[in-house]
């Protein structure tokens, strides 16, 4: 049986059936912004490998960081031990994130980071003897991950997790509207441990944008009603929206910050949860400890490449690059608004979205895009791109031309 036929019968892919009825495309190598497929086609990766490969592929500085660290150790447990890559990365993260954040917990995935953040909020309230504050407030169309606690703060009606609705803990949801937020806090603040939000850009829940004023109001209401604010910047962190972190659009500081995806430049899985002294001290009241510890927590290879990726980003003209990508996406996607098949076009930073009026025939559209030299991963009614920051004008024009040809 040919490899891909065997693979479709035995290897489970994200958000897919088994056996997988949809085609998959084998990648043999990646360099710069290009993926080379087994059939020798070379295509631009307009997805940055699910928003993580911000520098593209086969990056010399990141390769060197991995190779250098590999000479010392690939992994060592973090329980009772530490190592320089974790220390260096923690220092960097504390230096570049909001000034109130001074403690770093390393997780092994974005969903895992959200689990840790929710645990932190709950244990903080327990430490204050406010066990009744055990619910969370989230935005409609929110997406925060695929593990169980993370699923529970995803929109139960408008997310991919509606099948689990009766099995998950129930929390509260509110539209990103100032009046609705005020009403939600007034009604539920007495039981809320925290509000969790994707700042400014809601990702897998619909690629939706909301105004900075809404995020400012959320911070204000959290302070007013004694509710923690968790910022899930797994998708938005490290420059994707035009700011290093999306919270900067509203000039606010969260109590807990989740990072992932682009943290390692797309090389290895790693996430981080940062919080402030108030929460760390609150958790340890009554002798409590934070009950979480992944086996591969603070993996040295991942920490080393994450530090190198952040250094590479900060040493680059990333703001100018993202601003230029934004302009190119706006110009290139604008003609789609003339189509009667298109409901909306929206762009922010290095994010470009075409929302169709009807659901997209994903296998057919992906095949067309590949024929046009571009890899994208549409979902629902959305055709979108989050390209690597190193894309040239020619690359972005190639991506937008492929998108507008659908």
Residue with tokens 């055990």: 134
Query: What is the per-residue pLDDT for 146?
Result: 93
Q: 351 φ, ψ to 5°? A: -135, 125
Q: DSSP H helical segments within 97-211, as ranges?
A: 110-127, 148-152, 178-188
Q: Cα(198)–Cα(213) distance, rounded to whole angstroms?
A: 14
Q: Cα(130)–Cα(225) distance, rounded to whole angstroms?
A: 14
Right CATH for 72-314 from 3.40.640.10, 3.30.499.10, 1.10.150.120, 1.10.10.10: 3.40.640.10
Query: What is the per-residue pLDDT for 167?
Result: 87
CB 345 within 8 A of CB 335: no
- Distances from the Cα of 141 to the Cαs of 126, 148, 197, 210, 336, in angstroms? 29, 17, 10, 12, 24
Right CATH for 3-58+317-404 from 3.30.1330.40, 1.10.3720.10, 3.20.80.10, 3.90.1150.10: 3.90.1150.10
Farthest-apart Cα atoms in the chain, separation: 63
Q: How far is CA 251 from the centre of its chain?
A: 20
Query: What is the per-residue pLDDT for 157?
Result: 83
Q: 279 φ, ψ to 5°? A: -75, -45
Query: What is the per-residue pLDDT for 159?
Result: 67
To the nearest 10 degrees (0 to 180), the angle between helices 178-188 and 212-224 is 20
Q: What is 242-274 written as a DSSP string?
A: SSSSGGGGTT---SEEEE-GGGGTTSS--EEEE
Q: Cα(299)–Cα(304) distance, rounded to whole angstroms?
A: 9
Query: What is the per-residue pLDDT for 350?
Result: 98
Sheet holding 34-37, edge to edge: 27-31, 34-37, 42-45, 374-375
Query: What is the per-residue pLDDT for 158?
Result: 73
pTM of the model: 0.97
- Taking only the tens of pLDDT, the chain with its 406 residues reads 578 889 989 999 999 999 988 899 999 999 999 999 999 999 999 999 999 999 999 999 999 999 999 999 999 999 999 999 999 999 999 999 999 999 999 999 999 999 999 999 999 999 999 999 999 999 999 999 999 999 999 998 876 667 787 888 999 999 999 999 999 999 999 999 999 999 999 999 999 999 999 999 999 999 999 999 999 999 999 999 999 999 999 999 999 999 999 999 999 999 999 999 999 999 988 778 999 999 999 999 999 999 999 999 999 999 999 999 999 999 999 999 999 999 999 999 999 999 999 999 999 999 999 999 999 999 999 999 999 999 999 999 999 999 999 9
Q: Cα(253)–Cα(119) distance, rounded to whole angstroms?
A: 19
Tokens of 30: 């990646």
Question: What is the bridge-based pairing of β-strands 351-356 and 271-275?
Answer: unpaired
CB 258 within 8 A of CB 101: no
The ranges of the chain annotated as CATH 3.40.640.10 are: 72-314
The ranges of the chain annotated as CATH 3.90.1150.10 are: 3-58+317-404
Active-site residues, by number, are: 15, 143, 232, 261
DSSP strands (E only) in 65-220: 103-107, 135-139, 172-174, 192-197, 201-202, 208-209
């Amino acid at each position: 049986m040919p490899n891909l036929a065997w693979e479709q019968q035995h290897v489970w892919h994200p958000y897919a059936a088994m056996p997988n009825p949809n085609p998959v495309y084998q990648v043999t190598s990646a360099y710069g912004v290009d993926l080379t497929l087994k059939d020798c086609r070379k295509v631009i990766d307009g997805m940055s490998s699910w928003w993580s490969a911000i520098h593209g592929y086969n990056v010399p500085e990141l390769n060197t960081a991995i190779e250098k660290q590999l000479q010392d150790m690939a992994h060592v447990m973090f329980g009772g031990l530490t190592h320089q890559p974790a220390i260096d990365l923690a220092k960097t993260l504390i230096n570049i994130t909001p000034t109130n954040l001074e403690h770093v917990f390393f997780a092994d995935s974005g969903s895992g980071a959200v689990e840790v953040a929710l645990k932190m909020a709950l244990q903080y309230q327990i430490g204050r003897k406010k066990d009744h504050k055990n619910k969370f407030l989230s935005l409609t169309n929110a997406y925060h991950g695929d593990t169980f606690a993370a699923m529970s703060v995803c929109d139960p009606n408008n997310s991919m997790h509606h099948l689990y609705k009766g099995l998950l803990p129930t929390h509260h949801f509110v539209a990103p509207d100032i009046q609705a937020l005020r009403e939600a806090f007034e009604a539920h603040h007495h039981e809320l441990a925290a509000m969790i939000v994707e700042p400014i850009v809601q990702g897998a829940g619909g690629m939706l944008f909301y105004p900075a004023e809404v995020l400012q109001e959320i911070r204000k209401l959290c302070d007013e009603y004694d509710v923690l604010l968790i910022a899930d910047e797994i998708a938005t962190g490290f420059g994707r929206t035009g700011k290093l972190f999306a919270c900067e659009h509203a000039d606010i500081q969260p109590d807990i910050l989740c990072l992932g995806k682009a943290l390692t430049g797309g090389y290895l899985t790693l996430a981080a949860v940062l919080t402030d002294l108030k929460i760390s001290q609150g958790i340890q009241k009554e002798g409590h400890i934070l009950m979480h510890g992944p086996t591969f927590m603070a993996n040295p290879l991942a920490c080393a490449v994450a530090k190198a990726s952040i250094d590479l980003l900060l040493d680059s003209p990333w703001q100018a690059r993202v601003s230029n990508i934004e302009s190119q996406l706006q110009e290139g996607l604008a003609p789609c608004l003339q189509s009667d098949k298109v409901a909306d076009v929206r762009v922010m930073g290095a994010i470009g979205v075409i929302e169709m009026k009807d659901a997209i025939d994903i296998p057919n559209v992906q095949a067309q895009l590949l024929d046009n030299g571009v890899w994208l991963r549409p979902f629902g009614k959305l055709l979108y791109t989050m390209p690597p920051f190193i894309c040239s004008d020619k690359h972005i024009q190639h991506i937008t031309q492929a998108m507008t040809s659908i």
